[in-house]
Amino acid sequence: MYKEQGNETNPFGESLAKQIYRHILKLIIEGKLQSGDKIVEEEISKTLNTSRAPVREALYLLQVDGIVERIPRRGSVVKSFTQKEIDDYLKTTVHLIGFGIDQSSERWTEANQKEFRGLFKEVEEAYNSNELVDFQLRSEQLFRYIIFLTDNKALIRFYDEANHILSVFAQVQMNKETKVSFYKELSSFATAILQNDCAKAKVHVQRAIEEGAR
């Protein structure tokens, strides 16, 4: 059975620093930390009941991935993204999901279709409740389910890394107008997936991601 990202216990045998990395990333995606905000090592270590050493390592990993930047006399802050960076991650994410659609096309059992419908129902509920952050997170899980079905751990890693930055940007950019257009394309994507129409699904996933990040 599929487990949402962040609900797994130490996936892939991750180090403590990598788990802290994901904790900080979740704070950014949920809007609790925004572009330009300082990330205080002491606060993170107290919240997670750990020493500051793995927190520093996690911040270094976030810096390497381009999510955090270190500024002299300020410390680590959430990075602002250039349009080129956003475009690069957008294209990469679209290609990875497209590859996932092709690779998972023979894996759509009745049980998997039922689980996918359940995930989309959660997206619908979040959309109707006007909880923007929850809607974004639920939508991302719908895409990630496609990647999960490939049973390709390398693809899952690459997708997560590319999608992290795109999710951070989408969280900042999405408004009521883009939410409506994104949901329209997402619904068409889900319908195409359940009809096993890979070509149409790839068209709508590209449109959805472009709408979500514009």
Are both 109 and 25 inside the same structural domain?
Answer: no
Are both 49 and 133 inside the same structural domain?
Answer: no
**Is residue 27 in a domain?**
yes
Q: Cα–Cα distance between 115 and 31 in angstroms, integer?
A: 28
Q: What CATH number does residue 37 fall under?
A: 1.10.10.10
Q: Is 147's pLDDT higher than 50?
A: yes
**Percent above pLDDT 90 for the chain:** 56
Q: Is 111's pLDDT higher than 90?
A: yes
**Is residue 6 in a domain?**
no
Domain assignment of residue 45, given as a range: 11-78
pLDDT in tens, 53-76: 999 999 999 998 788 999 998 899
45 CB-near residues (< 8 Å, 6+ apart):
51, 52, 55
Are both 114 and 157 inside the same structural domain?
Answer: yes
Containing H/E element for 78? Answer: strand 75-78
Are both 125 and 209 inside the same structural domain?
Answer: yes
DSSP 8-class letter at 32: S
**What was the pLDDT predicted at 6?**
46
Phi-psi region of 142 (alpha: psi -120 to 50; beta: other; left: phi over 0): alpha
Among the listed residues 187, 12, 212, the one whose alpha carbon sits nearest the alpha carbon of residue 94 = 212
**Is residue 5 in a domain?**
no
Are both 172 and 189 inside the same structural domain?
Answer: yes
Q: What CATH number does residue 109 fall under?
A: 1.20.120.530
